Amino acid sequence: MTRHQDSGLAWNARRGNVWVDLQPTLDRLFLPFEHVLTDAALARDVGRVLDIGCGTGATTVAIANRLGPHGECTGIDVSEAMLNLARQRAIAEGAPNARFLVGDAERHRFPPNAFDAVVSRFGVMFFDDPAAAFANIGNAVRPGGALTWLAWRSREENPFMTAAERATGHLLRSSNQPAREAPGPFALANPDRVSQLLTVAGWRDVQVGALNVSCTLPKAELTVYTHRMGPVGMVLPNLDPALQRKVIATLEDAFAEFLVDDIAKFNAACWVIRARAG
C-alpha cells in the first residue's frame, strides 16, 4: 500500500469521522482563518474558486455565499465522510453554488483554466509530492489567478498543537517525530522551501507572511479535543484501560498550563502564502 493510499484510508476512517463529529468545535476554532481566506478569495473580481482540502465545507460554503448566484466555490477533499457533511451544510445554509469533489488535489484531473482563485485552510501540507501538487493545481487556474493558503509554522512555535505528543511520548513509545518535511501538519513550515516549491511549480509573485491568531477553547471542548484529535487521539481508544487512564491523566496535566478560568488560550502560528498562476 502506498503512503497516498494509506492517507486516503485514514481520512475515510477514524480520522475523518473525528472531524465530522467535532465539526462545530473546529469551525468555531478556525473561524478567524475562514475570514482571512474568504476576504482573500474575493479581493478581486472572481467567479470560480477552488478550495483545497475543504473538509466539512466551512470555507467553501462561506465563499459560495459571498459569491452569490453568479459564482461558485468547489471544494475538494479525500474524505467522503467529511464531504457528506459538507454537502448537507451547503443545502442547510442555502449555498447551491457550493460544489464538492472527492479526490486528491495532487492527482485530480482538473479542467484547465477552470478557476479564478484557489484557497486552502490547512489542507495543502499532506501531499506526497508538493511540487507536483502545486503544478497540478496551477494548471486548473487561469493565468494570473490568485492562490491563498494557510499552513502551520514550526512545531516549536505551536506548543499547544504538539503538547499531547510531547507529554505522552514516554507512555506510548512515540517520542520520535516524523521528518520535518514529511507529509503532515508541519510539512510546509519552512518559508524558503514553500517559495521554492511554488516557483518550481510555475507560480509567480510568491509571498509568505506570518500570521498569529489568538484561539480559545472552553475546558469541556478542550477535553474532547485532546482525547480525539491528533496522533494521541487516534490511538487512545485502542489502549488497554490502565494505560488509557495514565494517558488521559497526563493529557490533563499537559494542557493545564493553557487554561485560564476554564478557558484554554493559545497562539496559532501560521503562514499566509499568496501567489499568482503563471
pLDDT cut 90: percent of the chain above it: 87
The CATH number of the domain where 55 resides is what? 3.40.50.150
The whole-number average pLDDT for the span 126-148 is 96
Q: Is the pLDDT of residue 2 over 50?
A: no
Beta bridge partners of 77: 102
pTM for the complete prediction? 0.92
Q: Is the pLDDT of residue 75 over 90?
A: yes
pLDDT cut 70: percent of the chain above it: 93
In terms of Cα–Cα distance, which of 221, 198, 222 is closest to 274?
A: 198
Q: Which three cell numbers stand for residue 1?
A: 500500500
pLDDT band at 11 (very low <50, low <70, confident <90, very high): low
- What is the per-residue pLDDT for 174? 65
Helix (H, G, I), strand (E, B) or coil at 258: helix
φ/ψ of residue 188, rounded to 5: -115, 35
pLDDT digits (tens, 9 = 90+) for 172-214: 986 556 677 889 999 999 999 999 999 999 999 999 999 999 9
- What is the per-residue pLDDT for 176? 55
Q: Is residue 220 part of a domain?
A: no
Q: Is residue 203 part of a domain?
A: yes
pLDDT digits (tens, 9 = 90+) for 25-58: 999 999 999 999 999 888 888 999 999 999 999 9
Q: Is residue 8 part of a domain?
A: yes
CB 208 within 8 Å of CB 271:
yes
Going 43 to 45 to 49 to 52, the CA torsion angle's sign is: negative
Q: Is the pLDDT of residue 19 over 50?
A: yes
The count of other CB atoms within 10 Å of the CB of residue 120 is 24
Average pLDDT, the chain: 92
Q: Is the pLDDT of residue 1 over 90?
A: no
Query: Quick one: 202 exposed, middle or buried, by C-beta within 10 A (0-12, 13-18, 19+)?
Result: middle
pLDDT band at 9 (very low <50, low <70, confident <90, very high): low
CA distance 95 to 21: 22
Q: Is residue 48 part of a domain?
A: yes
Higher pLDDT, 8 or 246: 246
Higher pLDDT, 7 or 63: 63
- What is the per-residue pLDDT for 41? 85
Residues spanned by the domain of 49: 3-154+183-214+269-277
- Provide the domain count of the chain: 1
CA distance 202 to 144: 11
Give the type of residue at 78.
V
Q: Which residues contact 156 (CB under 8 A, 6 or more apart)?
A: none
- Ramachandran assignment for 51, one of left (phi > 0), alpha (psi -120 to 50 degrees), beta (any other): beta
Beta bridge partners of 102: 77
Q: Is the pLDDT of residue 231 over 70?
A: yes
Q: Is residue 73 part of a domain?
A: yes
CB 68 within 8 Å of CB 45:
no
Q: Is residue 200 part of a domain?
A: yes
Q: Cα–Cα distances in Å, from 29 out to 52, 141, 194?
A: 19, 30, 25
pLDDT digits (tens, 9 = 90+) for 150-175: 999 999 999 999 999 999 999 998 65
Q: Is residue 191 part of a domain?
A: yes
The count of other CB atoms within 10 Å of the CB of residue 271 is 19
Q: Is residue 67 part of a domain?
A: yes
Distance, first Cα to last Cα, the chain? 35
